[in-house]
Structure 1
Amino acid sequence: MMSPSDTSLVEEEEADVDRADRDGTGWVGAAESGAINTLELLKAIEESRVAIVILSKDYASSRWCLIELAKIVECMEMMGLIVLPVFYYIAPNDVCHQRGTFANAFAKHEEHLQDNIGNVQTWKAALTKIGDLARWDLKENSLVYRHDSIVIHEILIKIFSELNREFLSVCEELVGIDPHVKEVLDLYLGEGIGDVRFVGICGMGGMGKTTLAKEIYKRISRTILHNKKVLIVLNDVDGNEQLKALAVRYVAKIVFDIACFFKGESNDCVRDILKGFGYYPNYNIGVLMEKSLITIDEDRNLWMHDLRQKMGQEIVLRESPKEPGGHSRLWLYEDVHHVLKNNTGIEVVEGIALIILVHKEEQLNAEAFSKMKN
């Protein structure tokens, strides 16, 4: 539940936004745009299982960020919220002890909030507690450079591990479950079975449907991760809306296609291509636009932010750092040339785009396509 203190802080922050708009001072928190429902955001924190806190040099200058942080720490202590801090080119000690830019920011907070100094102390305490947690630390002058996408990948693995810890806790003494597990694995999820499959486990409550799903997941999870396949288990699914939500997860593949192949291309052309591969482009592209992952300009060309494109491409390149034939998508001339000339493509290759700017004669190996699934 929202405490009176939370509500008061939010009202003060929104009032500061209005004052800044009127007097032109421009010194406000993270809610400057007025486009966020502040109370709903705090409620969303209460209902979350994981919170990723990205602390940058200017983080403490935003009172709204500090309000959020105080709520996150409160939920961590009271409700077991999992908190994953990322120190983004800022020294953890500067955060913990409010030094450098954090000291300057808090000097302004203390000046503006003399009648509510208790909130400032709460924010400082929250920053100190965050600094004591296990964290990711990105440094400007680090001897070992790590691309942001690598850290993102590590964070996703951590979230996956935390969220599945409870799910994987299955009793070791299960009686009579083996035949049911074997039936599902052999008939629906066995080796050699391709494409996307929905497997429903139906029955009255208390019959062991969730236990069966957990045991299946437990037995094949390592194989799935090794082969880069995906198993999604949904519990208590009893309506079409929940099944529709599942379809959104498959939109992620289109993000990589756009990042590698389709940025700047005609939206109509891209839709036709995606439809030919079994996608539902009207729905899929609509979801991406709704989430602000892509845009379509007045000429109906499809666009993606440069940083998001770079991150998508980096993830694909990291699928097989040393051998381009292990990439799911090939769009760099050197990589395509290498794969087709040396016959190194394997079935993970899902798409190739080859643009030759200069006329050249090349001897390529047609057998390279025989190993590719698509």
Structure 2
Amino acid sequence: MASSSSSFASDSQYCPRWKYDVFLSFRGEDTRKTFTSHLYEGLKNRGIFTFQDDKRLEQGDSISGELLKAIEESQVALVIFSKNYATSRWCLNELVKIMECKEVNGQIVIPVFYDVYPSEVRHQTESFAEAFSKHESKYTDDIEGMQKVKRWRTALSAAADLKGCNVHGRIESDCIGELVDDVSSKLCKTSSSYLLQDIVGIDTHLEKVKSLLEMETNDVRVLGIWGMGGVGKTTLARAVFDTLSPQFQGASFLADVKETNTNEMHSLQNILLSELLREDKKYVNDKEKGKRLMAHRLRFMKVLVVLDDINHHDHLEYLAGDLGWFGSGSRIIATTRNKQIIGKNNVVYEVTTLPEHHAIQLFNHYAFKDEAPDEHIKKLALEVVSHAKGLPLALRLWGILLHNKDTTMWREVVDMIKRESSPDIVKNLKISFEGLQDKEKTIFLDIACFFRGKDKDYTIEILKSYDLDARIRLHDLIEKSLVFISKYDTIQMHDLIQDMGRYVVTMQKNSGQPSRLWNIEDLEDVLINNIGTMEVEAIWCTYFEAHQKPCFSKEAMKNMKKLRILCIRWYGSTPQRDSKDGSIEYLSNNLCWFYSLECSRKISSSSDSNCHDDSIEYLSNNLCWFVWHDYPWKLLPENFKPRRLVYLELQESSLHHLWTETKT
């Protein structure tokens, strides 16, 4: 079953006006150590930023300026009414301020009736009557004081008329759970309305997806969101997640799933379990154990799981392999370019490209902002939009590229787009690459080929070994929408952007000048035929089977004088070797920074003349990242002086010692 609709994209960003999600108003002596503390923890565990005045003395009439500001900056106010609430002039003044913010700022107010009934608060009876009798007796001859009492009564009556939670006579944990769900839902609706109002056609998409999910049913369902790269699948999935997640006991959005290979699926299982169970811990280090644990821990939970950008059947198998893993009412959403991965028995929603009027709206936002272009540039803009074929990613990138450019630059870019006769959007996106400075191009291609998904700070240290301004250049790439930083502080880029970068490198290889190699077949072709080795700047090869191990010739390595990155990783079973034990006694080669040294064998530094025949003749002195699992020679070259090296990893190597002479 399939449904389809055009894509969409955001043309603005929402800047929240609230500092806090929730402000807690309560009578300290009544509930601080019981209900309020448990409610605060429940809100915090749900990720709701809550202001609680832990040092409140509740003495006198005056509320501190800090507290007043906190009330004004909170989107929701939870007012916990208890027997002694009205005895505190502090609490009553706090309530007056809260009700003012409701009227003026649109603050959401939720009353909680802890050990009192709503009618007691509304009409000030029982304990509230006693408290007000004392207040009025104090202000008998004080007109201003009596006006204050009147404001207190008005605020109490208005608050009690609002829809809230009556805890009286109920199990407190149930009430806290309901309150947390209610607050989460209200926050999500308001934030989503701000975030989604500027995404073209989003309401229509959301309604269609919700209709396909059939939220009113209690069975477990899988929905696939399918479409070409850059069309808006992730944007839609995120919007659905933000809108519906409050309706579930647990929710998790796993981004860029395809970046995780089958052997590392346990890492995603750990993230999934941690987010759904709200426990900050590592559960498993084996994907099969992960499947069993998910089935055991989640089988009674109603959860929402989004698997973003899956490209292999294993992704579904190990993250949502059986609907029986999840509790009644659970929903699994997967975005993909490959419809077959979703399976014939699951519903698929297709997202297609933008219609022309939406495409123009999106491009104009990025290209012109609030400026009015002249008629000539308007015509050129229509040519660009036409060539983008309704793809939001291309419209955004080209709009950013052309923003604030003069007519001459517009003409040049449009001509470049026209010269690219192929409708292949990956090739067309190359226009954004051509607009980069040379050093920006180097860093962009390194990220596209090797560093996507790597820790930001770690990657910057590597890049800085050959470009001291790498952090600035990375920032520039982010500003140009070619790269972004994930919530896990890793470097990421859109699939199509990565495809475009690798397309550039592939074109270099096809012309006999490969700059970067990551594919085993391409690597062997270059090494065996010794073609273009003088242009190679980086090699990154990961293999899982012994027969895939690349064969390096000494002659090929001798020509790689530009090589900056050499990474050969082995993830198969550990090879067995017979070797002498020893230890590293000395290692100094004027290295600028040593990030890590991993040698799983003990390496001797003693002289051994028999090793000379087993040494590679040359390694580039430009190496900054040197990783070679199962390094096949007994020595590193005598002339190896890697002054830019920041990382060295030689697991399971054949090294007997590093070199026979002391290095200075």
TM-score (norm 2): 0.25
TM-score (norm 1): 0.42
Structure 1 or 2, whichever has the larger Rg, is 2
Report which of the two has the higher share of helix: 1
